[in-house]
Amino acid sequence: MTAQLIDGNALSARLRADVASRAAALKARGVVPGLAVVLVGENPASQVYVRNKVKACNDNGLHSVLEKHPAELSEAALLARVEALNADPAIHGILVQLPLPAHIDAQKVIEAIAPAKDVDGFHVASAGALMTGSSGFWPCTPYGCMKMLESIGYDLRGKHAVVIGRSNIVGKPMALMLLAKNATVTICHSATPDLGAFTRQADVVVAAVGKRNVLTADMVKPGAVVIDVGMNRNDEGKLCGDVDFAGVREVAGWITPVPGGVGPMTITMLLVNTLEAAERAAAASAT
């Protein structure tokens, strides 16, 4: 059996069209959804990411501001910029691109962002909201993975989901989102012995490690759904995920490709969160 592909580009296009129409509706009420993207230093990968985020905003009717600061910017100066953006009514979402230079405490900066504008979902208040099932912003990458499962009509109730990776940005929030949909969830990580013993029991596997070939065909239950969050380069320099795609697609029921899978969903969910932040702000100011 060859797995069906979950096409992140096609799903992103549908979700972005919905964002654009909701942005137009807000604009008609005099509110232009706005995202501030803050970049400190010249990390080449970060420069590409922030350019893509700003372009995605502009393409879908959102206003965006890109603030570029030199790598020498002090922590105090960055905190002051975040405070100014918190107070700016034209800005509904704030994203401080990570990693930050070593002299800046990234967590301190994230905690300075107003939770109502935390469209990355990295603030402890956002993490707490996800954990307790209350209203907040979900981190974009795992949120995008949930949308991919939803797009194939997959019912997680009673299913066993195995998440490989335990980062604050993907693994941990992913596990909580799957749990909220009534899956039985196992989190595996670098200290897990015999990873395959867990993944072979899984109806859904999410691989979020950042290492090639973490999941191979012999580790997958026939028909399982495989979501690949990895972004790696193979020996030829080609983009590849954490999953041995060629092997696993012959066993799985559904699989996300790399590129064209989870990647485009991350920016799409950033747009969704920013739009949601603007809609909440508009609703709050109308009352």
98 binds ligand GUN (CB under 6 A): yes
Catalytic status, residue 120: yes
- Closest residue to ligand GUN using C-beta atoms: 98
Q: Least CB distance from residue 49 to ligand GUN, whole Å?
A: 6
Q: Is the backbone peptide bond immediately before 259 cis, with ω within 30 degrees of 0?
A: yes
Angle at 272 between CA 20 and CA 39, to 5 degrees: 105
112 binds ligand GUN (CB under 6 A): no
Catalytic status, residue 172: no
Cα distance between residue 54 and residue 58, in whole Å: 6
210 C-beta neighbours (distance < 10 Å), count: 15
**From the candidates 117, 118, 120, 244, which is the catalytic residue?**
120
- The residue within the footprint of ligand GUN, chosen from 140, 185, 205, 207 (CB under 6 A), is 140
Nearer to ligand GUN, 122 or 154 (CB): 122
Quote the tokens at residue 280.
């909440």
Q: Least CB distance from residue 140 to ligand GUN, whole Å?
A: 6
Site of tokens 């995202």:
35
Using left for φ > 0, alpha for ψ between -120 and 50, and beta otherwise, residue 182 falls in left
113 binds ligand GUN (CB under 6 A): no
- The residue within the footprint of ligand GUN, chosen from 96, 164, 206, 269 (CB under 6 A), is 96
- The residue within the footprint of ligand GUN, chosen from 118, 120, 242, 276 (CB under 6 A), is 120
Beta bridge partners of 225: 204, 254
Residues in the interface with ligand GUN (CB under 6 A) total 7
Nearer to ligand GUN, 56 or 220 (CB): 56
118 binds ligand GUN (CB under 6 A): no
Q: Least CB distance from residue 96 to ligand GUN, whole Å?
A: 6
Cα distance between residue 114 and residue 118, in whole Å: 6
214 binds ligand GUN (CB under 6 A): no
Of the ranges 70-78, 94-102, 201-209, 238-246, which one interacts with ligand GUN (CB under 6 A)?
94-102
100 binds ligand GUN (CB under 6 A): no
Catalytic status, residue 218: no
- The residue within the footprint of ligand GUN, chosen from 12, 64, 97, 199 (CB under 6 A), is 97
15 binds ligand GUN (CB under 6 A): no
106 binds ligand GUN (CB under 6 A): no
Angle at 20 between CA 57 and CA 114, to 5 degrees: 55
Of the ranges 89-97, 127-135, 171-179, 184-192, which one interacts with ligand GUN (CB under 6 A)?
89-97
Cα distance between residue 164 and residue 170, in whole Å: 10
Cα distance between residue 41 and residue 78, in whole Å: 12
Q: Least CB distance from residue 225 to ligand GUN, whole Å?
A: 23
For ligand GUN, the binding residues (CB under 6 A) are 49, 95-98, 120, 140
Q: Would you name the residues annotated as active-site residues?
A: 53, 97, 120
